[in-house]
Amino acid sequence: MTRPAFTRVVTIHFGPGDVTRMTVDEAASRCGLTVPELLDSTRQLVESGFLTPRPDGSYDATFPHPGAAS
């Protein structure tokens, strides 16, 4: 039995006009992760400040990391 595809689209904004969009399955595949691993990694990136959730469900990438030395 095959599992259902995760067709939810993940959108990350890296800056003005620099936006990446792909399905959860595609993102997991590109990262070499399972979907649960990708979702856990995304949660960890939010918790550590590398990604900031937006009201529309997408994310802003935060560079440099807020905890990085100047």
Per-domain residue ranges of the chain = 9-61
User: Please, which pLDDT band fits residue 64 given cuts at 50, 70 and 90?
Assistant: low
Whether the per-residue pLDDT at 69 is higher than 60: the answer is no
Edge-to-edge strand ranges of the sheet holding 9-15: 18-23, 9-15, 59-61, 51-53
pLDDT in tens, 2-60: 666 667 888 888 888 889 899 989 999 999 999 999 999 999 999 998 999 999 888 99
Q: Is the dihedral of CA 54, 37, 28, 32 positive or negative?
A: positive
What's this model's pTM, rounded to 2 decimal places? Answer: 0.72
- Give the per-residue pLDDT at 33: 94
Among left, alpha and beta (phi > 0; psi -120 to 50; other), residue 57 is left
